[in-house]
Structure 1
Amino acid sequence: MQGAFLALGASALSGCTQTGGLKLTSAPTEVAAEKALAFPPPGGPAIVSVIERTFSNAVQQDIILSTDARSRGQNYIQVRYFGPASTPFAGASRLSTGMMTTAQAVGEMRSEFPTIRMSISPSFVQNNYGAFAYAYGTNPGSGDACLYGWQQIKAPDNAVRTFHYLGRIQTRVRFCQTGASRDALLSMMYHYTLTGAFDSVGWNPYGNIPPLDPAVGQLGRPIYAAGAGARLQPPMPAPVATPVRPVLRSLESQNTRPAVRRIEPVRPIVPAVAIPAPSMVTRSPLARTGLPAAAEPEPQTPPRAPQLPGPTATPAMPPAGGSETPQAPRPTSQLQQQGLTRMSSASPLQARPIIPAVPCTISPTSSCAGDL
């Protein structure tokens, strides 16, 4: 009997020492914003809260960012650090280390953007940590533009086999903003900063340190301060003027349009009229008609040689004394001689030039052939 009471007393004492609390294998905890493993770009959206989950092989953080979009959901940067994690929970779950595929990304975007049609970009893009992929879409109803990007950072396979560059980092970015452009959203993927690391010698997902620029430490290779390079650099030499003639020739060779023909007015050709010298003595038709030499006939230019009439008799003029005695008519030869005499005796100032007629054509049928 006494032994039974002692057993009950021992069991009661042992029950008092147990806490009776619930044991958790893995639980999300909220940490301070300054303990975030990734930060948005300077001047970007503010950090609202940081939710951390610990796994047996990784540590995951969801950095919640502020948003002004009208679409459902929240902006965040999710980072997963794979390495020798030390969790205080027994039997913690293990996080998959497989690379993110396009099918997996499409499934995640369907749950994150149920009302927005996202398109995966086929372009190759790269930030300070390596290559990344992204999808972009807009919501015409709300005017929101959204981006979903993902990236995996790890050392090359040949370096991992040496057991010196173990570990990897996976990032996912969901970012929506009203009226934002594609470039404004991509700024998040290009300028976010990772700040965490595991305290292990073999953990290095970044690979080898890139070598320094060959210009460092060399003479004659100045390195300018950030933002002052354009003001401190030496002036560039003036460009050499290129000849213009080859350019003009190339333009002429490219001109395939026909040149405009210049139309000039056609003037009729007027034949020159040969005027004989005043010293030529020809038979004038005025002398044959009996008109005085001082008379000025109208010049005529017949198209062909005219047929001159033969000599005709002209009645004699009455004398100046007023007698009306008829006189015998004088021959034409005397009238011609009288006219020539008057022309020779006249003053050169008073005499008028006589334009001789067209010379008579000498032919057997011509009317002037008999005078010769």
Structure 2
Amino acid sequence: MPTREASIINPAAAVIIPPPGGPGIAKVVSTTFPNAIRQDISLVTQARTAGENKISVILFQDRGGDGSDARLRDIPFTNVNLTQEALTAWPDTGMAVSPYYVQNAYGPFGYAIGKPANGDTCIYAWQRIEPTLRPSGATERGTIVIRLQLCRQNSSERQLLEIMYQLRLDVSVFPPGRGAARVGALTAPIVPVGVLGFEEVIPSARPVVRNQTPARPAPQVSTPAPAPVIAAPPPGAPIVPSPTASGSAGSGTQVPAPSSGSVIVPSPPGGSN
């Protein structure tokens, strides 16, 4: 396949899709090489940091060439100064390479973070998806190389890193997963039994149980109210009448009896002794 000059294509033809909610695609520039396709996907941003916000992806169709016949070289990351790439993408932002191991749906990747004084947060991330080979050793799918460079206002490291987890390639990456070895094998019966037991094609109706005597409610046992406690007055204290209705028994003022001795009434004057 001859090399084609870079051309602007429809964003719908981008081979890599940003996550829902952005960053949005502003422009897609595609270049075709004899052994690969390279796309530079410009991203919409409101960052204050000077630089290009984009995703670059290279899809190798077979093994990389040596560059002599316009074929792109597939260079492993071990031979690339990725720190220098990050500093070149976002100069004067204090880029620092992450020491942490991370991976997304396509495998491990690396990244660097910068936080310039203007309030932006910047990321430069890279990922290489190794090729898959046929049993004969021929290439079934070539290497896929992804680079993300993006700055954003009012964004955290985690928000920018989340973009790498949600990127999706619009191409076949991995071969279909193989089924269990017992599927289709002889002397290996498979019964339609799931987590809930035997799986019916037409579920049977549940049996209806009739003539069941409803359970009687437990009898309500009333608890008698406790009798009022009447405190006895101390010795010699006046007796206060109870607040009963007028005319009832026991009404009136009660005079306490003397505690001891009899009452002595004096005789009238001039009387006999």
- Change in 2 beyond 3 A, CA 1:39/1:25: closer
Q: Which residue of 2 aligns with 1:53?
A: 31
Correspondence for 2:94 among 100, 114, 117: 117
Q: Larger C-alpha radius of gyration, 1 or 2?
A: 1
Where do residues 173-192 of structure 1 align in structure 2 (5 Å cutoff)?
173-192=148-167
Does the Cα contact within 8 Å between 2:59 and 2:144 map onto a contact in 1? yes
Q: Secondary structure at the match of 1:109?
A: helix
**Higher RCO (Cα < 8 Å, 6 or more apart):** 2
Distance 1:220 1:132 in 2: 37
Q: Aligned pairs, how many?
A: 181
Change (3 A) 1:164 1:25: closer
Mapped to 2, the partners of 1:161 and 1:133 lie a distance apart of 32
- Structure 2: where are the runs of 5+ without partners? 181-191, 198-273
Distance 2:152 2:23 in 1: 10
Query: Which whole-Å CA distance do the structure 1 matches of 2:179 and 2:110 have between them?
Result: 27
1:209 to 2:184 alignment:
no
Point out where structure 1 has 5 or more consecutive residues left out of the alignment.
Answer: 1-23, 86-90, 198-204, 223-372
What's the counterpart of residue 325 of structure 1?
A: none
Question: How far apart are 1:160 and its partner, in Å?
Answer: 7.1
Q: Quick one: which amino acid aligns to residue 159 of structure 2? A: A
Give runs of aligned pairs for residues 156-235 of structure 1, distance below 5 A: 162-163=137-138, 165-196=140-171, 206=174, 209=177, 218-220=193-195
Q: Is the 8 A contact 1:154 1:207 kept in 2?
A: no
Q: CA separation in 1, counterparts of 2:36 and 2:176? A: 22
Q: Which residue in 1 is equivalent to 2:124?
A: 148
User: Which residue of the partner structure matches residue 71 of structure 2?
Assistant: 94
Write the letter of the residue equivalent to 2:126.
W
Distance 1:94-1:156 versus aligned 2 partners, 3 A rule:
closer
Deviations along 1:163-197, one digit per CA (max 9) or x if unpaired, are: 36341111000111012101100111000110135
Does structure 1 conserve the Cα–Cα contact (< 8 Å) formed by 2:111 and 2:124?
A: yes
Distance, in Å, in 2 between the alignment partners of 1:25 and 1:162 is 26
Deviations 1:327-365 (A, max 9, x none): xxxxxxxxxxxxxxxxxxxxxxxxxxxxxxxxxxxxxxx
| Aligned counterparts of 1:132 and 1:71: Cα–Cα separation in 2 | 24
Quick check: 2:114–2:121 contact (8 Å CA) kept in 1?
A: yes
| Higher strand proportion (structure 1 or 2) | 2
Aligned partners of 1:68, 1:57: CA distance in 2, in Å?
A: 36
Q: Does 1:128 align with 2:105?
A: yes
Partner of 1:31: 9
CA distance in 2, matches of 1:209, 1:137: 39
TM-score (normalizing by structure 2): 0.59
Alignment RMSD (CA, Å): 2.8
Contact map agreement 1:36 1:61 (CA 8 A) in 2: yes
- Report sequence identity in percent: 33
Aligned partner (choices 46, 49, 52) of residue 74 of structure 1: 52
Residues 195 and 171 from structure 1, CA distance in 2 versus in 1: closer, same or farther, beyond 3 angstroms? Answer: same
| Partner in structure 2 of residue 14 of structure 1 | none
**Contact 2:131–2:144 under 8 Å retained in 1:** no
Which residue is 1:248 aligned to?
Answer: none
Alpha-carbon distance in structure 1 between the residues aligned to 2:153 and 2:163: 15
- Kept in 2, the 8 Å contact 1:155–1:206? The answer is no
Runs of 4+ in 1 over 4 A off after TM superposition: none
Per the normalisation by structure 1, the TM-score is 0.44
- Aligned counterparts of 1:220 and 1:149: Cα–Cα separation in 2: 42
